[in-house]
Amino acid sequence: MTALSYLALVLGSEQAYNLSMAKPKSETLEVGCPCCGAVLKIDPATHAVISHVAPVKPKMFADFDSAAKAMREQEGRKESLFQQAVNAEKNKADVLEKKFQEAMKKAKESPEEGPMIRDFDLD
């Protein structure tokens, strides 16, 4: 009696048929990563990654001239952002003073009655 016929008797004819049609476990599986596009080769017997092939990343610039042009444009944007930050820092004291005066005016208009209760006073 062969091993396949023995399995057919034990498992039933349908399961034995599927067993004989199954691929051998020695083949590696190739799986593509949905996030980065890398290809992983996995050994089904050990469930270990055998090989990793990183995806090919496209070049950002076609030639050196276009890269240099992009760098010059980026320098202009950096300078503009720096000037905005400098102007905001110069006006920071005035803005804070106005906010403080507004808060003081609001506090005088609606004074709280009684002493303030702090969280640790409730313990």
- pLDDT, mean of residues 51-73: 87
Q: Are residues 43 and 72 in the same domain?
A: no
What pLDDT score was predicted for residue 4? 44
Q: Are residues 52 and 70 in the same domain?
A: no
What pLDDT score was predicted for residue 48? 87
Strand, helix or coil for residue 59: coil
In percent, the amount of the chain with pLDDT more than 90 equals 21
Task: Supply the range of the domain harboring residue 52.
Answer: 24-57
Residue pLDDT, tens place only, 13-58: 455 455 555 555 568 888 888 888 889 998 888 888 888 899 888 8
Residue 89 falls inside a structural domain: yes
Residue 14 falls inside a structural domain: no
Question: What's the total number of domains in the chain?
Answer: 2
Q: In what order do the strands lie in the sheet with 48-53?
A: 29-32, 39-43, 48-53
